[in-house]
Structure 1
Amino acid sequence: MPKPKAGDHFDSLFEYAPISLWEEDYSGIKKFFDKLRASGVTNLDTFLNGHPEEIDHSLSLIKVTHVNRETLNMFGAKSEKELLANLNKIFRDEMRAHWRTELLALWNGEVSWSGDGVNYRLDGEALHIRLHWRILPECESNWECVLVAIENITALKKAEERFHNLFEHAPISLWEENYSAIKREFDSLRAQGVTDLRAHLASHPEAVDRFMGMIRVLEVNRKTLSLFEAMDKESLLANLGKIFRDEMGEHFKNELVDMWEGKTYYEREGINYSLTGEPVNVHLHWTLMPGHEKDFDWVLVALQDVTARKKAEEYLRYLGTHDVMTGLYNRAFFEETLQDLEANRKDPVSFVIVDLNGLKQTNDSFGHSAGDKLIRRAAEVLKASLEEGHIAARIGGDEFILIMPDSNEPKVREMVERVESLVTMNNKYYREPELSLSMGASTSAPGFSLSKFISLADDAMYQSKGSYHRRRRGDT
């Protein structure tokens, strides 16, 4: 079988190439440029700003001399003649934007160019294309032979658009970030002999803020703007210091240690802030994208708003530790506190048992609503009496306790006197029924359990209550 001639061989390579190929003549553009330079034009960009019509004119100066079969297939032409007769349908609209860029490349002496753009099939369907052209070496003086290759990247662009929409409209806050500056700083620290980043940050706490400033935010989605109450991306990025502050520093320090130790994914909960100053509880998912472990230049951060969940948890915790009627701590919290104090015993601890006098008579005479009001008045007095570190709890229907860590007998006597004074004041501002409290106090000492001293305070309270009842009988 005879060997094909070189010319025939290369003609076949061109004709049957699996990519759209065009042979074009740019000599008309070369002459156009020469004419502009002769007229004194030195900056083509400025010239085109003043004469935008010359972009279309220069486009018309291209001569297409031949195209291959894949070109006809890509653009839906039955023949080369049909394609060449309808170039104005193929090269239009968005084509002008990247053609201007091509013109500037040619003006600046470049002999090749690549870029993305949009062309159209003869039936009007838009094609996203990646175009490459090269002035062939033998034609660099006159631009008469230019090879153009066009890739159809429509499927790629649609996939990119699909994933962009998934990102943009995701129901959680998404951030694309670049951590490459942090990676370079890590490499520098290791070169200096640092092996324990946590210890390094402990001795250089200012480094945490410096590391935070190295993060470059590439993109955020719509949910991010709404979550942090930002008008637009620009205002969000200009105010990152308002969003990531306070508690964020400690969380970020732990994240840095994770990165230093080679983790490519982690989750944490923390607090950020909206641009209006409202705290936003977030569950953070941090992912170093696969293939970017070497330079950290692509990181995906997902922030899930868990503020409502946190508020619900806090409310449940409140209900579990507080008496709903009075707002004081409840018996469960009192018992847990007592266990903690016993386990970490540090005498003296003083206790005051408080009993509300006359609650049954108030309920019988004025109704349970009045009785509830009397209970709340007692709680108000006790809360007003507390000093820092003291605890007041309602441990029964009409019974309360004050816990005073690190308080001796003189301190507890001061507390009882303060409560009595506040009761007198309270009764001046409320009509009947009268608020009256019986109290008993004790102060712990080594050798007995704290429960023993609570019993002693309880006994003292009942002695006081007996005196109250004797006084009441004497009044009658």
Structure 2
Amino acid sequence: MEILDSSIFDLSPIPFWLEDFSEVKNQFDIWKNDGVENLEDFLREDMSRVLHCANLIKVLKVNHKTLELFEAKNVDHLRENLSQIFSNDMAESHIHDLLALWNNQAHFSNTAVNYSLTGKRLDIHLRGTVLPGHEDNLSLILLSTENITSYQDACRLEAHSRSIAEARFTYSPTSLWVEDFSRIKTRLDHLKAIGIEDFVTFLDVHNDFIIECLRDISIIDVNQATLNLFGASSKDHLLQNIYTVFGHETLNTFRGQLIELWKGNIHHQCEAVNYALDGSIRHVLLQFTIFPGFEDNWSMAQLALTDITARKKAENYLEYLGKHDVLTKLYNRSFYSSEINRIERSTLRPVSCIYIDMNGLKEINDTQGHDVGDDLLRRTGAILTQLIHNTLYSASRIGGDEFVVLLPGADEAALQSSLDALHELIHIDNQFYSTQKINFAIGSASSQNNERIEDMLKRADKAMYLQKRAFYLSLKHEKESV
């Protein structure tokens, strides 16, 4: 019993207990005589048996550190309040101690929850050792109860933070991908090591390098928003069809990403085009970042894809409206003016044009209504669209009943061919709509040497005007002869 008087026990910086488990040993013997073989199942059938064993333990001695930890005035104060220290929280952990002693193990340890006498929760790491010479009756066991509350609090905080981070990833409304770019970094580092400096030119010459880098990416995880964005039923479904998601546009997008990474920009963004598994297009804003702590190997990178498909459609439609006439689907006067300036600045010559004015539109609007007139304008749009189909020509509505077809690169022979095609298209349309035929005044011109485009257009406009004037003079003569 020298250890009971040892100054090492009393002065230890770790809380020590000397306890007598002999009554517990007697209880074990009774249970064994009663035929209990599996103690764990037996105790779990009735957890009060665990508390009964705990109450059989006698506290012989504790050191000063134990009194300090549990905020007890002295040993008697501690003994009188053991039920407060060992609450129901300790029943589960105490089962493991009892199982070790039941199986004649001289050492046991576990983590448990105790409480100080002021009610403070304590996470402890308990270690127990049956002292030599007391193995048969368990009358002297040394226990340490190390306070690990700070450590456990840190673990709980870390687990809570991880849970929040995982929830943010899983339930984020933005498509998130976690990927491994380490093999790409190895490739880029190798190129720098062998002296490659102009990476852009290198990619121009070695386009297969981009494909190889794409194959080197390892997808670690994706969230639910990603599955929703691309119409995948599961992660496996998405990964098995990943090349459906990345169309031919991906190569150009990824080329830009590689250039950014080569420059050291491990945080960058760009717009990209992807595809859902049903083939529908997805315009996305791609934001790329290497996670902090992985800058040296790029083994943990995140891609955030924001769906901007609706915005792109709206932008495209607004751009369309800015250049097109809604009724005829042809280009509008704004586009026509810009195109004239572009052609004037270019060196492409000759340039031809066809001026078209619909005869009698005002009278049709006045007598038959604007719906009929609008229908004639739509038919005109369809005719001119067919005329320029699969060519570099453009057709614009520049006024209420005025249209211009610009034919860059067309000489007089090409212009005549287009005029013949135009007359044929008008003839076919009028046969189909025989009760409401369209009549046009048409003028045309091809640019001459050193002639300004504007002057060529004026000649075509004048030719159209002369034809229109002849049409109305003919109508006038017909009315006068009636």
User: Same fold by TM (over 0.5)?
Assistant: yes
Query: What are the Cα deviations for residues 67-97 of structure 1, in whole angstroms up to 9, with x where unaligned?
Result: 9969989xxx9749975997552489xx9xx
Q: Which residue of 2 aligns with 1:465?
A: 468
Structure 1 residue 155 corresponds to structure 2 residue 168: no
Deviation of 1:148 after TM superposition, in Å, equals: 11
In the alignment, residue 449 of structure 2 is paired with which amino acid?
Answer: P
Q: Classify 1:217/1:71 alpha carbon distance in 2 versus 1 (closer, same or farther; 3 Å).
A: farther
Deviation of 1:327 after TM superposition, in Å, equals: 0.4
Q: Classify 1:425/1:369 alpha carbon distance in 2 versus 1 (closer, same or farther; 3 Å).
A: same
Q: Which residue of 1 aligns with 2:76?
A: none
Structure 1 residue 426 corresponds to structure 2 residue 399: no
Asked if 2 retains the 8 angstrom alpha-carbon contact of 1:177 and 1:218, the reply is yes
Asked if 2 retains the 8 angstrom alpha-carbon contact of 1:362 and 1:433, the reply is no
Among all aligned residue pairs of Structure 1 and Structure 2, give the percentage whose two residues are the same amino acid: 29
Q: Distance in 2 between matches of 1:434 and 1:54?
A: 103
Q: Classify 1:84/1:460 alpha carbon distance in 2 versus 1 (closer, same or farther; 3 Å).
A: closer
Query: What are the Cα deviations for residues 453-473 of structure 1, in whole angstroms up to 9, with x where unaligned?
Result: 010000111122123234434
Asked if 2 retains the 8 angstrom alpha-carbon contact of 1:416 and 1:439, the reply is no
Which protein is bigger by CA-based radius of gyration?
2
Deviation of 1:189 after TM superposition, in Å, equals: 2.1
Q: Which residue of 1 aligns with 2:419?
A: 416
Deviation of 1:383 after TM superposition, in Å, equals: 1.1
- Kindly report which structure 2 residues correspond to 1:323-402, keeping only aligned pairs within 5 A, or say none: 323-387=325-389, 388-402=391-405
SS at match of 1:213: helix
- Kindly report which structure 2 residues correspond to 1:32-431, keeping only aligned pairs within 5 A, or say none: 79=82, 83=86, 88-90=91-93, 151-152=151-152, 153-387=155-389, 388-431=391-434
SS at match of 1:291: coil
Query: What are the Cα deviations for residues 187-219 of structure 1, in whole angstroms up to 9, with x where unaligned?
Result: 222233222322222111111111111112222
Q: Distance in 2 between matches of 1:131 and 1:375?
A: 89
SS at match of 2:209: helix
Q: Distance in 2 between matches of 1:332 and 1:356?
A: 20
Q: Distance in 2 between matches of 1:224 and 1:425?
A: 52
Deviation of 1:145 after TM superposition, in Å, equals: 11
Q: Which residue of 2 aligns with 1:455?
A: 458
Q: Classify 1:71/1:161 alpha carbon distance in 2 versus 1 (closer, same or farther; 3 Å).
A: farther
Task: Choose which of 441, 447, 453 in structure 1 pairs with 2:444.
Answer: 441
SS at match of 2:14: helix
Q: Classify 1:242/1:361 alpha carbon distance in 2 versus 1 (closer, same or farther; 3 Å).
A: same
Q: Distance in 2 between matches of 1:377 and 1:428?
A: 13
Q: Which residue of 1 aligns with 2:26?
A: none
Deviation of 1:475 after TM superposition, in Å, equals: 4.6
Q: Distance in 1 between matches of 2:125 and 2:474?
A: 104
Q: Classify 1:315/1:148 alpha carbon distance in 2 versus 1 (closer, same or farther; 3 Å).
A: farther
Question: TM-score scaled to structure 1, two decimals?
Answer: 0.74
Q: Distance in 2 between matches of 1:186 and 1:402?
A: 52
Q: Which residue of 2 aligns with 1:8?
A: 9
Deviation of 1:130 after TM superposition, in Å, equals: 12
Deviation of 1:376 after TM superposition, in Å, equals: 1.1
Q: Distance in 2 between matches of 1:191 and 1:180?
A: 16
SS at match of 2:219: strand
Deviation of 1:372 after TM superposition, in Å, equals: 0.9
Query: What are the Cα deviations for residues 158-194 of structure 1, in whole angstroms up to 9, with x where unaligned?
Result: 1211122122222211122221111112222223322
Q: Classify 1:408/1:80 alpha carbon distance in 2 versus 1 (closer, same or farther; 3 Å).
A: same
Q: Classify 1:347/1:82 alpha carbon distance in 2 versus 1 (closer, same or farther; 3 Å).
A: same
Query: What are the Cα deviations for residues 217-237 of structure 1, in whole angstroms up to 9, with x where unaligned?
Result: 222222111111111122122
Asked if 1 retains the 8 angstrom alpha-carbon contact of 2:14 and 2:145, the reply is no
SS at match of 1:295: coil
Q: Classify 1:88/1:312 alpha carbon distance in 2 versus 1 (closer, same or farther; 3 Å).
A: same
Bigger mean CA deviation after superposition, 360-369 or 434-443: 360-369
Query: What are the Cα deviations for residues 99-132 of structure 1, in whole angstroms up to 9, with x where unaligned?
Result: xxxxxxxxxxxxxxxxxx998789xxxx9x9999
Query: Number of residue pairs matched?
Result: 404
SS at match of 1:208: helix
Q: Classify 1:299/1:55 alpha carbon distance in 2 versus 1 (closer, same or farther; 3 Å).
A: farther
Deviation of 1:13 after TM superposition, in Å, equals: 3.3
Unaligned runs of 5+ in 2: 20-37, 45-52, 72-78, 97-109, 116-120, 130-140
Q: Classify 1:84/1:458 alpha carbon distance in 2 versus 1 (closer, same or farther; 3 Å).
A: closer
SS at match of 1:435: coil
Q: Distance in 2 between matches of 1:290 and 1:466?
A: 77
Q: Distance in 1 between matches of 2:403 and 2:471?
A: 17
SS at match of 2:403: strand
Asked if 2 retains the 8 angstrom alpha-carbon contact of 1:355 and 1:439, the reply is yes
Q: Distance in 2 between matches of 1:147 and 1:216?
A: 48
Asked if 2 retains the 8 angstrom alpha-carbon contact of 1:287 and 1:301, the reply is yes
Q: Distance in 1 between matches of 2:314 and 2:241?
A: 29
Q: Which residue of 2 aligns with 1:106?
A: none
Q: Distance in 1 between matches of 2:328 and 2:70?
A: 84
Q: Classify 1:91/1:390 alpha carbon distance in 2 versus 1 (closer, same or farther; 3 Å).
A: farther
Unaligned runs of 5+ in 1: 24-52, 96-116, 136-143
In the alignment, residue 190 of structure 2 is paired with which amino acid?
Answer: S
In the alignment, residue 13 of structure 1 is paired with which amino acid?
Answer: P
SS at match of 2:334: helix
In the alignment, residue 207 of structure 1 is paired with which amino acid?
Answer: F
Q: Which residue of 1 aligns with 2:24?
A: none
Asked if 2 retains the 8 angstrom alpha-carbon contact of 1:244 and 1:273, the reply is yes
Q: Distance in 1 between matches of 2:246 and 2:126?
A: 45
Deviation of 1:436 after TM superposition, in Å, equals: 0.8
Q: Distance in 2 between matches of 1:251 and 1:54?
A: 65
In the alignment, residue 405 of structure 1 is paired with which amino acid?
Answer: P
